[in-house]
Amino acid sequence: MAPNIRVDHIGIAVESVASAEPVLTALGCEKIIDDTVEDRFRWVYYLVGDASRIELIEPLAEDSFLTEYLERHGPGLHHVTLEVADIDEVIGSLDSAGIETIDRRSYDEWTEAFVSPRNETGVLFQLMEYTDAFTDGRDFDEESFFMNGVRLSTEE
């Protein structure tokens, strides 16, 4: 049986959210989350239609992973995030196919791991399993944020 998985969002690296945001606004996107990670980078989620999301990510620190990425590649597609119901199951499936995952980390709000862009698609995939804590203290509409209003679950 295939793992319970879906596209969560597309991440786009930008020099400046303020400069890139008008493009998303003109496309009818609605800003739903604007946050930072350890003063290293800013991430802003935009809702597109019925729970599709685009994330703009902007470096805040001189030595951020985004700074190096933007110097080498310029603005553009950075990653595709896949929401997974069971990250261990998905990593096991990838391992069985001979595809290595890297940089697994657990936070209060999610657990993540990555498939290097050195895979045959050339795309960096972020695997993300949300925890209940993700929605705590955030001011957004879960009905719009999550497809069908709910996080993925291992239950059918």
Q: In this structure, what CATH number is given to the domain that contains residue 79?
A: 3.10.180.10
Is residue 123 in a domain?
yes
What kind and span of H or E run contains 110?
strand 110-115
pLDDT per residue as tens, the chain (156 positions): 667 888 999 999 999 999 999 999 999 999 988 999 888 999 999 998 877 889 999 999 998 889 999 999 999 999 999 999 899 999 999 999 999 999 999 988 889 999 999 899 999 999 999 887 776 766 666 655 665 556 666 555
- Is 23 contained in some domain? yes
Which of 127, 135, 140 is CA-nearest to residue 151? 135
* Residue 127 β-bridge partners: 82, 113
β pairing state of 5-13 and 52-59: parallel
Kindly state the DSSP code that residue 107 receives in the 8-state scheme. -
> Is 129 within the bounds of a domain?
yes
Distances (CA, A) of 114 to 12, 82, 154: 16, 10, 20
Counted domains in the chain: 1
Q: Is residue 149 part of a domain?
A: no
Domain of 57, in residue numbers: 5-136
In this prediction the pTM is: 0.83
